[in-house]
Chain A
């Protein structure tokens, strides 16, 4: 009986850990996407800037 209760509590603990880690992973993924888009944005801005300056040179 005690073993069972112990097992149940352990399982719920583990489940909680899994949900937490999953949420963390999701956040990190989203963050990575955002950062990726920022890089693209900066690349694009740099390209624009170059295109603007090239003919003058």
Chain B
């Protein structure tokens, strides 16, 4: 068809020529349109060039990072996403990331931390997962930074990006990066490499896995303790990712190697790994491989290592299983309880209940109990306090009879301890004992001790017990309290030492909060008010103080019915100190009362006090009147 048409056109001119010319015109028009479009487009670009320089995202970033104020630089890094957004994914990859890589890394550590965090979140802004590899180079540099925090953040970001990478990108970019870091000159990069292995391992091909295990082994044998420490930290989690036979053949030797490191800071990290690796192996394997290390760690010459063992003892027992715990670990635990370092004993004492819960009762009684008895009279107060914190937990394990037989004596001894924390720890856990031996037994054995302390010669001891009374009351309940402790609280109001009386009045307020207003109305208030006729004016004053403290919690009815009559009576007291304290007490209760009651019943008394010959009484009465 085409050929025929051409032939025609060459043969005959005329009408066909016209046709062609129309086509040409059309083509020209089209071309000129394109030109025009291009020109316009260029025009837009050219016209806005000066402006675009000013608002070019990278220029802005450079300007911002030039600022002297670190806070401003930090702000600008924190908003790196908006820069990336303005640039679009393509230019972010080609311009922003290289810029960051070259120039920002000189900044302060704080800014670098922020940068590492932001780079981890930038995946979406560089064009999604397939382009995420371009974030790796700057992060690699950050992972080699001197400051630990910067490295940690960079490792976090790398791990995050790693999980987003496609398989091919992972193999082409991430693994080489990991290997580079692990072979870097500076130890900083090598420590970072330890943190990346755990995430990278599951995705690697089997050959690469072999390579990674070898890398890890080199890191474990590193010259610097810093790298060995990092390797020891990640050993457990890395092993979790590894196939079981590889763990046995390759990880166990490394683990043994690190556990016998010359630096105690490396050895103590091995203890945690005992628990993790132990939970992956069978019983026999644990006995063969882990147990020897665990036992030697428990007798390590560095107390920090022994401390770690004591601290993680429960986890270790869990991972080793019941059999080994019973046969082997109990012995080690007893040794830790008798350790020469108080810190180790403290940690061990805190695990007593957990460990006893794992083993049989007979064993606890036979092995652990003698140590506990020694610890009760330990020289270090922290050890005793730690023991007091958990010893109550033994009651449910021992059962009623054995608790009475063995533990009660220890409780009482701890309750009489000099160190207040020990006593507090005992008293605050009383409800656990209560559930096991019942309130009757408890009160029979405990009450004498409390009463004894409440009547101690030393007023500081008495004060200490008063502080615990509200807690004790809330645990033991209202009946128990009324029967046994109620009188005690009242005798404190008549104590010769002012501080005790003051504490006792505050105690009444707290008790009212615990047991409620009704209870206070029938139990406390009548007893408090009888004190007002005491021959010594100091005790009469106690009544006034109690009214002042109790009035905010009992409500206006009680104040009006029982407190105001008393105060009115005391207005005529012959001691001026009492009189002006009446005025002061009025000051407290006036805001709590209805204005009609104030006008009819309070004001007359105050007016009477205003006529007093004593100038202090006048002063306070005047002050109170201003509130009416």
Contact = CB atoms under 8 A, between A and B. Distances in A.
Nearest to A27: B69
A40 B82 CA distance: 12
A34 interface: yes
7 contacts: A34-B64, A34-B75, A34-B76, A37-B55, A41-B82, A44-B48, A45-B87
B271 to A, nearest CB: 48
B221 interface: no
Interface in B37-56: 37, 44, 48, 51-52, 54-56
A38 B60 contact: yes
Contacts of A38: 60, 79, 82-83
A-B pairs with lowest CB-CB distance, top 6: A45-B86, A44-B55, A41-B55, A40-B55, A41-B86, A37-B60
Nearest to A43: B55
Contact of A27 (B48, B57, B71): B71
Contact of A44 (B51, B63, B83): B51
Interface in B77-105: 79, 82-83, 85-88
B30 to A, nearest CB: 15
A31 interface: yes
Interface of B: 37, 44, 48, 51-52, 54-57, 60, 63-64, 67, 69, 71-72, 75-76, 79, 82-83, 85-88
B51 A45 contact: no
Interface in A25-57: 27, 30-31, 34, 37-38, 40-45, 49, 51, 55
Interface string A9-37: 00000000000000000010011001001
Contact of A41 (B44, B57, B75): B57
A34 B55 contact: no
Contact of B44 (A30, A43, A49, A51): A51
A40 B55 CA distance: 7
Contacts of B55: 37, 40-41, 43-44
Contacts of B67: 30, 34
A27 B54 CA distance: 22
A42 B85 contact: yes
A41 B80 CA distance: 13
Contacts of B64: 34
Contacts of B86: 41-42, 44-45
Contacts of B82: 38, 41-42
A45 B88 contact: yes
B75 A45 contact: no
A45 B57 contact: yes
A41 B76 CA distance: 13
B85 A45 contact: yes
A57 to B, nearest CB: 14
A41 B72 contact: no
Nearest to B79: A38
Contacts of A43: 55
Contacts of B75: 31, 34
A30 B88 contact: no
A41 B69 contact: no
A6 B63 CA distance: 45
A40 B69 CA distance: 22
Contacts of B87: 45
Given A34-B72, A42-B86, A55 B57 contact: no
Contact of B72 (A27, A45, A51): A27
Nearest to B44: A51
Contacts of A42: 82, 85-86
Contacts of A37: 55, 60, 63
Nearest to B71: A27
A53 to B, nearest CB: 12
Contacts of A31: 72, 75
B60 A41 contact: yes
Contacts of A34: 60, 64, 67, 72, 75-76
Nearest to A42: B86
Contacts of B60: 34, 37-38, 41
Nearest to A26: B69
A12 to B, nearest CB: 25
A41 to B, nearest CB: 5
A30 B79 contact: no
Contacts of B51: 44
A45 B72 CA distance: 23
A34 B83 CA distance: 12
Contacts of A27: 69, 71-72
Give the interface centre of B54, B55, B72, B82 by most chain A CB atoms within 10 Å: B55
Nearest to A23: B69
A12 B72 CA distance: 28
B340 to A, nearest CB: 52
A35 B88 CA distance: 19
A30 B73 CA distance: 11
Given A34-B76, A41-B55, 4 more contacts: A41-B82, A41-B86, A45-B88, A55-B37
Nearest to B87: A45
Contacts of A51: 44
A31 B79 CA distance: 12
A51 B40 CA distance: 11
B207 to A, nearest CB: 46
A27 B69 CA distance: 8
A11 B246 CA distance: 73
Nearest to A37: B60
A44 B51 CA distance: 9
Contacts of B88: 45, 49
A17 to B, nearest CB: 19
A22 B361 CA distance: 70
A31 B76 CA distance: 9
A30 B71 CA distance: 11
A42 B83 CA distance: 8
Nearest to A47: B48
A45 B89 CA distance: 12
A38 B81 CA distance: 11
A12 B573 CA distance: 54
Contacts of A45: 57, 85-88
A18 to B, nearest CB: 18
A43 B44 CA distance: 15
